Amino acid sequence: MSERLVLYAAKFSPYVESVELALAVVNAKYTTHDISLDDKPAWYTEKINPAGLVPAITYGGPVGSPENPSPEAFKLAESTVILTFIADLYPNSSLLPQDPKLRANAHFFIYQIVDKIVPTFREILIKQLPAERLLQAFEEVQRWMHPDHTKLIVGSDLTIADASFIPLAWRFEVLMKHDIGSYPAGEGIKAYKTYADDPKFARLRAYLAVVKARPDFQLFNDEAGLVKHSSRVNVLRAATV
């Protein structure tokens, strides 16, 4: 990739982390521009992503400032779409396997994440859904992972499926362990203990052990920062109910 790429990001966004992980895998050169989600600048929705969400990217076109990209720059939002775009920019990377069956598995797993994990995560954090429901969602998607406990989701290499899943799976561990969510106090810790002790979650535990041993996991491995950020967000949300 020779064109200029700018990533519009926000600290502790799992969807931004997914894109950052993919960019690290392909060793891409890019610029990051942070967006305050509490006080989004008008230019961001006007010129980059009308939905006002992160991540988003601009790619190509004459060099300009992140706040005023060239009209010729390609603009793209939604983390799963950006992941596929990066994989296409680097066709020789591991992000999308050459084997059509493995490629299909990677895309299918992302579908499972979007369909089951993402909405459940949102609801236990802000809509008082029981923490146990997230365990059920993880149990369901776990069965689509590679059966070998030493491997990642579709094999030995990190794909777009892993990039999409790792930040969410890591958050599950951290937030449940620290009882962060809109459910009654103690439910998160109870869910975490079930995850940590129940043999039916052995595949997920093994997967995260493999992930945590990777150097690229250190991109966002800030448990204390995530706990502080998530607690603050929940206090702000509770004050608006």
Q: Which residue has the tokens 């991109």?
A: 219
Q: Which pLDDT value is given to residue 196?
A: 96
Distance CA 230, CA 227 (A): 5
| Residues 6 or more apart whose Cβ sits within 8 Å of residue 122 | none
- Topology given in CATH for the domain delimited by 100-240: Glutathione S-transferase Yfyf (Class Pi); Chain A, domain 2 (1.20.1050)
pLDDT on residue 131: 86
Q: Domain 5-89 falls in which CATH fold?
A: Glutaredoxin (3.40.30)
pLDDT for the residue numbered 1: 58
**pTM tops 0.75, yes or no:** yes
The ranges of the chain annotated as CATH 3.40.30.10 are: 5-89
Q: Could you list the pLDDT tens digit for every one of the 241 residues in the chain? A: 568 999 999 999 999 999 999 999 999 999 999 999 888 999 999 999 999 999 999 999 888 889 999 889 999 999 999 999 999 999 999 999 999 999 999 999 999 999 999 999 888 877 778 888 889 999 999 999 999 999 999 999 999 999 999 999 999 999 999 999 888 889 999 999 999 999 999 999 999 999 999 999 998 889 999 999 888 656 444 433 3
Enumerate the CATH 1.20.1050.10 domain ranges in the chain, comma separated: 100-240
Instruction: Report pLDDT for 177.
Output: 94
Rounded-to-integer distance, Cα 147 and Cα 85, Å: 28
pLDDT, residue 241, reads: 36
Q: Do 106 and 37 touch, CB atoms closer than 8 A?
A: no
Asked if 129 contacts 153 with a C-beta cutoff of 8 angstroms, the reply is no
pLDDT, residue 239, reads 38
Reduced 3-state DSSP string for the chain: CCCCEEEEECCCCHHHHHHHHHHHHCCCCCEEEECCCCCCCHHHHHHCCCCCCCCEEEECCCCCECCECCCCCEEEECHHHHHHHHHHHCCCCCCCCCCHHHHHHHHHHHHHHHHHHHHHHHHHHHCCCCCHHHHHHHHHHHCCCCCCCCCCCCCCCCCHHHHHHHHHHHHHHHHHHCCCCCCCCCHHHHHHHHHHHCHHHHHHHHHHHHHHCCHHHHHCCCHHHHHHHHHHHHHHHHHHC
Asked, as a colleague might, if the bond just before 97 is cis with ω within 30 of 0, I would say: no
